[in-house]
Amino acid sequence: DVKVTQSSRYLVKRTGEKVFLECVQDMDHENMFWYRQDPGLGLRLIYFSYDVKMKEKGDIPEGYSVSREKKERFSLILESASTNQTSMYLCASSTRTGRSSPLHFGNGTRLTVT
Amino acid sequence: AQSVTQPDIHITVSEGASLELRCNYSYGATPYLFWYVQSPGQGLQLLLKYFSGDTLVQGIKGFEAEFKRSQSSFNLRKPSVHWSDAAEYFCAVGRDFGNEKLTFGTGTRLTIIP
């Protein structure tokens, strides 16, 4: 079974802090994704990566950056956390097929910025 | 651009009753369609997917969905719900060739009453 592991389940940070959310997958998937989930808004794509050191902006990249130095690890970085970034963050991975393929999700990191 | 609408924010059904969750999509060509379920405190789990072929798709946990091109719909059904089906359900649409991102709907929260 594919396992996508997010390093923290809950995180509380202060406004202005630099925040790192880590995600690791163990199935050698090429694609990795970061989504943000908010009530009434569903899941919105922040960034995705289809290969090591490759990244593309999703629908809401402002205020975020990402890093993918190894195939299995995809990090989401909040350069200067703000209260409007309080949310549930979901990492996902999938195989590279050239078309949309099912995503495998981690259990999420609930981030609170105070 | 592709989009997904889940018109029902919250649905309540009695245990043992039938269930239908609605999903409408907007996409110019043949879409790839997915239903995911999210139990409280968990990530999203794939229930079923439609890529092509038979328009009635069977998934896990006794769920099925029917692709209706004429109505741009992909509704999720279950003949008899169990208390453990209480969760949030997300419909998602993807594309073939060249785009491996999924666009998610805003979700439908399902409550089961005894």
Find out whether B7 and B106 touch, Cβ atoms under 8 Å: no
Give per-residue pLDDT as tens, A24-40: 999 899 999 999 999 98
Instruction: Supply the pLDDT for residue B42.
Output: 85
Partner-chain contact A103 B102, CB within 8 Å: yes
Instruction: Supply the pLDDT for residue A100.
Output: 66
Using CA coordinates, name the residue in chain A closest to B33.
A100
pLDDT band at A87 (very low <50, low <70, confident <90, very high): very high
Using CA coordinates, name the residue in chain B closest to A6.
B43
> Quick check: A4 contacting B, CB < 8 Å?
yes
- From B17's Cα to the closest Cα of chain A, the distance in A is 26
**DSSP 8-state symbol, B16:** T
> Quick check: A50 contacting B, CB < 8 Å?
yes
User: Residue A86 above 70 pLDDT?
Assistant: yes
Calculate the alpha carbon distances from A61 to A57, A110, B76 in Å: 6, 18, 31
- Mean pLDDT (chain A, rounded): 93
Give per-residue pLDDT as tens, A62-77: 999 999 999 999 999 9
- From A88's Cα to the closest Cα of chain B, the distance in A is 10
| Nearest CB partner across the interface for B106, out of A42, A100, A103 | A42
CA angle in degrees (0–180, nearest 5) for A57-B109-A46: 5
| Nearest CB partner across the interface for A98, out of B41, B98, B101 | B98
pLDDT band at A84 (very low <50, low <70, confident <90, very high): very high
Length of chain A counted residue by residue: 114
Q: How far apart are CA A93 and CA A23, in angstroms?
A: 10
One-character DSSP codes across A28-90? --SEEEEEEEETTTEEEEEEEESSTT--EE-S--TTEEEEEEETTEEEEEESS--GGG-EEEE
Find out whether A62 and A1 touch, Cβ atoms under 8 Å: no
Per-residue pLDDT tens listing for chain B (114 residues): 788 999 999 999 999 999 999 999 988 777 889 999 999 888 899 999 998 888 999 999 999 999 999 999 999 999 999 999 999 999 999 876 556 778 899 999 999 999
> Quick check: A24 contacting B, CB < 8 Å?
no
| Nearest CB partner across the interface for A43, out of B9, B96, B104 | B104
